[in-house]
Structure 1
C-alpha cells in the first residue's frame, strides 16, 4: 500500500465527526438554526477544543487530508501536530491554520486543552462584496509560509471575542442576510489574523522539500495567471520541468492533479463573479477567457452540478 493511500480524505463536517469523534452524531451547536447548503455551497462549523478533547477518538498519528480550511485558536494547553511534513508544538495564546487539501495529523493534545476550532470551506467564504480577497492569498494558508501566529494578551482577547461573535451570529441566523453577517465576521477574523501575521513576520527557518517548493511555486503561478494560462504545459514550461513530473508532484502534495488545481481556481473565480457582481454569464465567460458561453456553462456544471444561472439564482444574496 502506498503512503498516500493511507491518508484519510475528509470532505466535510460529517466525515470529520466520523473520523475524529467517538460520537459521530454529536451536534457542535444544538441551538443552531441549521441552514441547508447544497451543491458545495459551503459550511461553517465551530467547536470548543475542550469539547472536542472529550469526544476525540484518539486518531493520534493518523494522517488526514481535509478538503476544507481550519483555524485553531489555542488559549490553554499544548498540542503537537504535523501540518504538511512539518511538526509543530503550539502553546497558549497561539493561532494555527490548516489549508484545504493539506496533509495533517494530530500527534498529541494535553489534557488542559482550551480554545476554538473553526472549519469552513472555500464556497462558504464567498462573500457578496466586490473584490473579496481570496483564501489562498492569506499568507498562513500558503504552502511556503509558516502556518501560525503567536498572540499577546490583547490579541488573544480580541480573537476570543471575534470567535464568540461569529458563533453567536451563526447560531441565531434565520435568513441569508444573517448568514452574510456570519461570513463577514469570518472575514474579519482572517483579516485581523493576517494583520498580526504581517506585523510579526520575521525570517523563520522553514524547510520545505524540493517537491513542496515546486508545488508552492506552481500554486503561486496559478493564482497569478489562471485567467490566461489554463494548460499544465504552460506552467511546466515556466518551471522548466516536464508536465508529467509537475502533475505527479502536485498530486502527491495536494491529492489533486495539476489540471484540477487550475480548473478549481477558475471555478472559484466564476463563483465569486456570479455572487459578487451583476455581470451577465456571457460577460463572465468572456472575462474568464472561455471561447464561448456554452463551453463555460458545461465546464461550470461539471464542477458544481449547476449551470451558472442556476448557481446565481440559488446562492446570490438579495
Structure 2
C-alpha cells in the first residue's frame, strides 16, 4: 500500500511538486509545469482543492472507485479526504489546480457558506464535465485568483482572493446543476433504484431491525456519495433524500395502521423507531392526527 502523504499546508503541497509558494494560504498550479510528479501517490488533504483537467493521463480514486475524471472535467476535495492518484507511464498531468487552506476563509462570507458547496464531498464517479465555454469562464476566475497571489499582500488581498474563489465555486455549482439536468435519464434510473431499495427495506424485517433507514445506506447501494445522492434526489423530486425517506415511512405506517391489528408501539418498532412516542410525533406532524386517531377515522 502506498504511503499516505499528509498535505496540511499550501507550502507542503508546492514543495512536493517543486512549485513556488507565493501565498501561504492559497495557490494556483499549472499541473503541466510541475517539475516533480510521481507516478503513484496517496494524499490526505488538509486543504481544499479543485482540479480542472485538460487531458486524460491517469486515474484518481476516492475510496474504492475511480473518479469519472476525463478531459475537460473538474474534481474537488475537502480537508480530511484521502485520494489515490495513478499516472499512466510516461504521462504528465495537464490542467489547473486551485488549493486553499481553511484559514483563508476565516472571517469571510465564503467561510460561512463553504458547506453549501456540496460537491466537495462528492466522492465516486461524480466529476463535473465542462464545455469549452464553461472552461474559459472557470479559467478566467482562476486567473484572477492568480493575479491576487502575485500582487503584494495588503489589506484587500484576503477579501479579494476569497471573493474570487467564491465566484469560481458558484460557477461550479451552476455547471453541476446543468449536469444534473443533462443526465436526467441516468438520474431517473437512480431514483427508480432508490424507490425499489426503499420498498425492499420495509419488506425485509432484518433490515428494519437496523433502525430507521438512513440516506447513507441508500447512497452506498447506488455507489454514490451521500451529498451527490442527496443533491440528485432533490433535483429529481423537489424533496431532500431524507424527506423522501420520511414520506415513504409515513405511507407505510398508514398502511399498517389501517390494515393490521398491530399496536402503535408494535408499528413503531417494526418501522425502526426506538420509541413509540417519537413515531407518534412524526406521524401527527405529517398526517395531522395521531396513529390511533387515523385508525378510527379510517374504520
Q: Determine helix, strand or coil for the equivalent of 2:98.
A: strand
1:184 equivalent in structure 2: 163
- Is contact 1:8-1:64 (8 Å) kept? yes
Distance change >3 Å, CA 80–CA 199, structure 1 → 2 = same
User: What per-residue deviation string (whole Å, max 9, x for no partner) do you get for residues 253-294 of structure 1?
Assistant: xxxxxxxxxxxxxxxxxxxxxxxxxxxxxxxxxxxxxxxxxx
Q: Is the 8 A contact 2:65 2:124 kept in 1?
A: no
Q: CA deviation at 1:133?
A: 5.2
Q: Quote the RMSD (CA, aligned, Å).
A: 3.7
Per the alignment, residue 281 of structure 1 pairs with: none
Structure-to-structure mapping, 1:38-57, within 5 angstroms: 43-52=25-34, 54-57=35-38
Give the Å deviation of 1:12.
Answer: 1.3
2:5 paired residue number? 8
Equivalent residue number for residue 100 of structure 2 = 120
Which of 51, 67, 80 is equivalent to 1:72?
A: 51
Q: CA deviation at 1:187?
A: 0.5
Aligned length: 200
Residue matched to 2:20: 27
Q: CA deviation at 1:185?
A: 0.4
Alignment partner of 1:164 is 2:143: yes
Q: Would the aligned equivalents of 1:10 and 1:16 in 2 still touch at CA under 8 Å?
A: yes
- Secondary structure, aligned partner of 1:197: helix
In the superposition, relative to structure 1, how do residues 173 and 47 fare at CA in structure 2: closer, same or farther (>3 Å)? Answer: same
**Cα deviation 1:170-205 (Å, max 9, x = unaligned):** 211431213311110001000100111012114458
For the structure 1 residues 144 and 113, does the alpha-carbon distance in structure 2 shift closer, same or farther, using more than 3 Å as the test? closer
Specify whether residues 124 and 212 from structure 1 end up closer, same or farther in structure 2 by C-alpha distance, changes over 3 A only: farther
Displacement, 1:120?
A: 1.0
**Do the aligned partners of residues 70 and 47 (structure 1) sit closer, same or farther apart at CA in structure 2, a change above 3 Å counting?**
same
The offset of 1:8, in angstroms, is 3.0
- Name stretches of at least 5 consecutive residues in structure 1 with no aligned partner: 37-42, 221-238, 242-318
User: Quick one: structure 1 residues 11 and 146, their matched pair in 2 at CA, closer, same or farther if it must change by over 3 Å?
Assistant: same
Among candidates 66, 75, 84, match of residue 87 of structure 1:
66
Q: Is the 8 A contact 2:68 2:126 kept in 1?
A: no
Unaligned ranges ≥5, structure 2: 191-214, 231-271, 275-299
Match of 1:303?
none
Considering only CA atoms, is the larger Rg found in Structure 1 or Structure 2? Answer: 2
Q: State how 1:127-276 maps to structure 2 within 5 Å.
A: 128-129=108-109, 134-143=113-122, 147-201=126-180, 202=183, 203=186, 216=226
* C-alpha distance after superposition, 1:36-61 (max 9, x if no partner): 6xxxxxx1111101012x31133x0x
Determine the C-alpha separation between the residues in 1 that align with 2:167 and 2:112.
11
* Cα displacement string for residues 4-23 of structure 1 (whole angstroms, at most 9, x for unaligned residues): x95332211233245x43x4
Q: Which structure shows the bigger proportion of residues in helix conformation?
A: 2
